[in-house]
């Protein structure tokens, strides 16, 4: 099972003909592929599966998702990032 933690895009670049980004997931940074959502911009939020950005979500939804994940104990209460 995979948890859909929202990630905030912090950097975008092209590599070998594909669009890539770095995203902050409540304090953890990961590289992801933007081929399915090539119009994502720095500052926007996404849900990723298997290294591919699949869903764009707005900031309010990202903050609420992280709040609920913290409330139920999936994320630590003092993690930095999306909803700090």
Residue 35 — pLDDT band, cuts 50, 70, 90? very high
d(CA 60, CA 35): 24
Q: How confident is the model over 43-84, as pLDDT tens digits?
A: 999 998 889 999 999 999 999 988 898 898 888 876 445 544
Neighbours of 62 (CB within 10 A): 22
Residue 1 — pLDDT band, cuts 50, 70, 90? very low
- Average pLDDT over the chain reads 87
d(CA 14, CA 25): 21
Residue 32 has a pLDDT of: 95
d(CA 63, CA 35): 25
Q: Is 43 exposed, middle or buried (0-12, 13-18, 19+ CB in 10 A)?
A: exposed
Residue 3 has a pLDDT of: 65
| Residues in contact with 64: Cβ distance below 8 Å, sequence separation at least 6, in sequence order | none
């Amino acid at each position: 099972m995979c948890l859909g933690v929202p990630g905030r895009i912090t950097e975008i670049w092209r590599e070998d003909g594909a669009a890539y980004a770095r995203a902050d997931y409540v304090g953890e940074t990961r590289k992801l592929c933007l081929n399915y959502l090539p119009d994502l911009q720095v500052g926007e939020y996404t849900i990723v599966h298997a290294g591919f950005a699949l869903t764009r979500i707005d900031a309010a939804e990202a903050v609420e998702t992280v709040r609920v994940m913290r409330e139920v104990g999936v994320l630590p209460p003092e993690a930095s990032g999306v909803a700090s």
